[in-house]
A and B are shown apart, each in its own frame.
Chain A
Amino acid sequence: EAQVTQNPRYLITVTGKKLTVTCSQNMNHEYMSWYRQDPGLGLRQIYYSMNVEVTDKGDVPEGYKVSRKEKRNFPLILESPSPNQTSLYFCASSYKGYTEAFFGQGTRLTVV
């Protein structure tokens, strides 16, 4: 089954404790992205990757890191999480940037 898998689905952590949210897709898609969703703001792109070893900042990259060492995986790293990073996070993949995006189920992160 074609899918984008994010883990974990829910995470509560403390300020400053490094964490990684994993994202994996099985569709051989070139383009992957991370978004955060906050009430009233829609989705905002954090980082995107047009292919392996190519990553670029989106609209809200501060406080986040990503890597794309393999085509299927695109982890999101928060080196020192802060409460303003409490949000719902989505990973997405698409064949190309302009084609239909497939989304993971979301990760609800709370930083206390």
Chain B
Amino acid sequence: AQKVTQAQTEISVVEKEDVTLDCVYETRDTTYYLFWYKQPPSGELVFLIRRNSFDEQNEISGRYSWNFQKSTSSFNFTITASQVVDSAVYFCALSEANSNYQLIWGAGTKLIIKP
């Protein structure tokens, strides 16, 4: 069973539009962590955010915001006023205490921002 689902394989928007990337996870652990990573066309993996299961506060960092909802097992990522430089593959990942904190990754969402 897929533990981290990113249902959107590819999203294409025009610059300045807002876009939300969905992430749904599955766990029976009470202690777990959720992450978002970005992989730009150059290929490196860049950490964006980490959230633990005890902290449901949403977070905003500039144009980026994250909505963590335990009730729906979702950890969605919104980019406001998207820019061409936001074009990348975005991965959501889950780390569970009972699995030695192994990172389990979603398949990724390719985001294309058109000028």
Contacts and interface: CB of A to CB of B under 8 A. Distances in A.
Contact of A48 (B33, B50, B100, B106): B100
A37 to B, nearest CB: 9
Given A42-B91, A42-B108, A105-B43, A99 B102 contact: no
Nearest to B43: A106
Instruction: Name the prevailing secondary structure of the A interface residues.
Output: strand
Interface in A6-61: 31, 33, 35, 40-45, 48, 50, 56, 58
A27 B91 CA distance: 24
**Size class of B's contact patch?**
20 to 34
A80 B35 CA distance: 34
Contacts of B95: 97-98
- Contact count band on A: 20 to 34
B47 interface: yes
Contact of B45 (A31, A44, A90): A90
A64 to B, nearest CB: 15
Please list the 9 inter-chain residue pairs (A to B) with the smallest Cβ-Cβ separation, ordered nearest first.
A97-B101, A42-B105, A103-B45, A42-B107, A43-B105, A100-B47, A98-B33, A98-B101, A98-B95
27 contacts: A35-B105, A40-B9, A40-B107, A41-B107, A42-B108, A43-B93, A43-B105, A44-B105, A45-B103, A48-B102, A50-B100, A56-B100, A90-B45, A92-B103, A96-B101, A97-B101, A97-B102, A97-B103, A98-B95, A100-B35, A100-B47, A100-B50, A101-B35, A101-B47, A101-B103, A102-B47, A105-B44
